[in-house]
């Protein structure tokens, strides 16, 4: 499969006078047409920052300091600001976490959709209206015509997220970056939004990067999974393989931290310690201080190594046995 979007060795830092925090340290990932890539990690691992870096929307003092973001073979990091603007929303769209906050509270849905349309196309009011109605209809909003007149506060959370998705899909983008789009929603609504986005992306062949900390959500929607820890991708592979047989100790720790049925009364697993501060990372493997498998070798930084035909992992001591057992 050819990648629509290929992020290579992305570095981003927060630069303030006297202190530079390297928040992304060589993130590489790729996503193919119609593929859904789950990007997981705990808070502060850099997953959201990765999403915003791809779109060049990190707010200062954050800054992309190195690497490439190849969209159809073109590095978006080298584009002029105006070319970048023309790309946003048209080729790379975003959906945000909190639907209460993503829509402008004082503008009608119609205005917001029309602005998004007119950002990239010269179209009249009537045409914009027609397109907006069609887009709202597509994301399952009942009576889209009257909804256009509404203000965001008149819609429920799920409806707002549907509107945001409709806006993201307006220009049939190649890639959608969805930053925890279901986290703020009720569980039942979550399910609806998940299957909606999944269906729409499949139909159009849109590549989707789904950023989340919720493994249950990615398990249900993603094709592949990338796990981030302290500004680096530590494991990538097909979602089922990764969840069944994690190779990186951190991935396993994440999976085991999810409370499961049938374990009532037992003590929940947790990863000891906490993620190191980005300002003060250990030289070697950044997970080593919390890792039960760590050895002297872990004082050096492991590279991303192939692990089987479809996976790769950044670890000197990948959890072989279980993985091999799972591969059989």
Which residues form the interface with another protein (CB under 8 A)? 55, 57, 59, 85-90, 93-94, 96-98, 101-108, 111-112, 115-116, 119-120, 151, 153, 164, 167-168, 170
> Minimal distance in Å, beta carbon 154 to another protein?
8
Residue placing its CB nearer to another protein in the complex, 105 or 262: 105
Residue placing its CB nearer to another protein in the complex, 11 or 151: 151
> Minimal distance in Å, beta carbon 146 to another protein?
15
> Minimal distance in Å, beta carbon 168 to another protein?
8
> Minimal distance in Å, beta carbon 55 to another protein?
6
Residue placing its CB nearer to another protein in the complex, 108 or 322: 108
Residue placing its CB nearer to another protein in the complex, 171 or 248: 171
Q: 3-state SS string over 81-99?
A: HHHHHHHECCCEEEECCCH
Encoding tokens for residue 303?
């590279």
> Minimal distance in Å, beta carbon 139 to another protein?
15
* Alpha carbon 234 to its chain's center: 15
Residue placing its CB nearer to another protein in the complex, 85 or 213: 85
In whole angstroms, what is the distance from residue 291 CA to residue 269 CA?
Answer: 14
> Minimal distance in Å, beta carbon 97 to another protein?
8
Residue placing its CB nearer to another protein in the complex, 2 or 59: 59
Q: What are the E-state strand segments in the chain?
A: 3-16, 19-32, 36-40, 62-71, 74-75, 92-95, 175-179, 207-212, 224-229, 232-238, 305-307, 311-313
DSSP annotation string for 174-236: SEEEEESTTTTS-HHHHHHHHHHHHHHHHHHT-EEEEEES-HHHHHHH-SEEEEEETTEEEEE
In whole angstroms, what is the distance from residue 31 CA to residue 53 CA?
Answer: 15
Residue placing its CB nearer to another protein in the complex, 81 or 321: 81
49 closest CA partner among 11, 15, 16, 79: 11
Our CA angle for 155, 159, 160, nearest 5°, is: 75
> Minimal distance in Å, beta carbon 51 to another protein?
10
């Amino acid at each position: 499969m050819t990648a629509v979007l290929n992020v290579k060795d992305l570095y981003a830092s927060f630069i303030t006078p006297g202190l530079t925090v390297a928040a992304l340290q060589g993130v590489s990932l790729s996503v193919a047409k119609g593929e859904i890539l789950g990007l997981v990690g705990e808070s502060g691992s850099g997953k959201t920052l990765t999403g915003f870096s791809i779109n060049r929307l990190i707010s200062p003092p954050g800054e992309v300091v190195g690497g490439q973001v190849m969209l159809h073979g073109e590095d978006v990091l080298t584009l002029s600001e105006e070319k970048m603007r023309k790309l946003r929303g048209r080729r790379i769209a975003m959906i945000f976490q909190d639907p209460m906050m993503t829509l402008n509270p004082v503008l009608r849905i119609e205005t917001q959709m029309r602005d998004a349309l007119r950002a990239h196309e010269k179209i009249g009011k009537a045409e914009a209206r027609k397109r907006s109605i069609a887009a709202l209809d597509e994301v399952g909003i009942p009576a889209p015509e009257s909804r256009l007149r509404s203000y965001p506060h008149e819609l429920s959370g799920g409806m707002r997220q549907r509107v945001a998705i409709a806006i993201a899909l307006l220009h049939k983008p190649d890639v959608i970056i969805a930053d925890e789009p279901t986290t703020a929603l009720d569980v039942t609504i979550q399910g609806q939004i998940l299957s909606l986005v999944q269906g729409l992306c499949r139909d159009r062949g849109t590549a989707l990067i789904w950023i989340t900390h919720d493994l249950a959500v990615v398990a249900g929607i993603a094709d592949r999974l990338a796990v981030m820890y302290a500004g680096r991708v530590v494991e990538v592979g097909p979602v089922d393989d990764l969840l069944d047989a994690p190779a990186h100790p951190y991935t396993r720790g994440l999976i085991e931290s999810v409370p499961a049925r049938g374990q009532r009364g037992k003590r929940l697993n947790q990863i000891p310690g906490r993620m190191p501060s980005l300002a003060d990372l250990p030289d070697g493997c950044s997970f080593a201080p919390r890792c039960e498998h760590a050895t002297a070798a872990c004082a050096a930084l492991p590279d991303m190594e192939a692990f089987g035909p479809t996976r790769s992992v950044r670890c000197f001591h990948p959890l072989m046995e279980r993985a091999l057992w799972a591969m059989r």
